[in-house]
Amino acid sequence: MTREFRFDPFTETSVHIVADRQNRPNLPSSGCPFCVGGLEAPENYSVHTFPNRWPALEAGYCEVVLYSPQHDARLSTLSTENIAELVDVWAQRTTALQALPNGECVVIFENNGAEIGATIPHPHGQIYAFDHVPQRVAAQLKNNWFPDADPGDRLILERDGWRVWAEYAAVHPVTIRLAPINRVADLPSLAPELRQSLAPVLHEVFSALDNLFEDLPPYMMWWNQAPRSHAEWPDAWLNMEIISPWRANGVPRYIAGVEVATGEYFNPVDPADVARRLRDAMN
């Protein structure tokens, strides 16, 4: 057995046993496979997608997205034109993966930084297409998630149809949410003007995040969007979450045993303070 989905009915926890991923390389043996001329990018590109050679799900349902041919680039350093193209690719791949027989729920995400397991520093993210709606995604859909209408001192940025704020019940020291002010179900449904206005917003938010500490912080980000079966979730509302485990420069906030045991968290950082610092970093 190398891959199996398991569910614990007592804790309602879902687990994918993917033993074959133990064999994947942690670091490329020579050169960067994502640079032009490398294993995964033989030709020049601006944004490029390809199937993951070590998929956590069944083959064809996990993809890698290269943001730029520039090895040292980050979302904060990409041009708005490059980011706009990336947004279009995210939308296109969502549509393509939802068209697969088991492409029920498409999750786009990025792990950035060696501290949280990113093995190749070249700017990239991933896309997984699940054959079901994962538990955390389903919880937000069932509870009709919508943007914080009045974040007050937790507001980071509001511009051109987009709102960005620090989450009220933030699990992690840096917990940011970004969403269109008016409801849009998923990335493919974004109107052209919202796609264009999203690019500079993303650039500014990730630039502020990169300037939040003395060093570049590790982070994770992901999109929450409607599953393929839109009719079952008429109130689905597209949004992005961005989290960083750093509570100070180079100091991660570790999840404690009592938090794992109870599912209740103790965040040492006030979300309003994070929002203020991010606003200051934008000025």
Three-state DSSP state, 226: coil
Distance, CA of 85 to CA of 87 (rounded, Å): 5
Domain boundaries, the chain: 6-19+30-282
Three-state DSSP state, 127: strand
Q: Which amino acid is at 202?
A: L
For residue 211, give both structure tokens: 């300037």
Q: Which amino acid is at 200?
A: P
Please state the CATH superfamily assignment of the domain spanning residues 6-19+30-282 in this structure: HIT-like (3.30.428.10)
Q: What is the pLDDT along the chain (283 residues), one digit of tens a residue?
A: 478 999 999 999 999 999 877 777 666 667 899 999 999 999 999 999 999 999 999 989 999 999 999 999 999 999 999 999 999 999 999 999 999 999 999 999 999 999 998 989 999 999 999 999 999 999 999 999 999 999 999 999 999 999 999 999 999 999 999 999 999 999 999 999 999 999 999 999 999 999 999 999 999 999 999 999 988 999 999 999 999 999 999 999 999 999 999 999 999 999 999 999 999 999 8
Work out the burial of residue 18: count CB atoms within 10 Å of its CB; fewer than 13 is exposed, 13-18 middle, 19 or more buried. Answer: middle
Distances 70 to 6, 7, 44, 47 between C-alpha atoms, Å:
39, 41, 11, 11
Distance, CA of 96 to CA of 274 (rounded, Å): 37
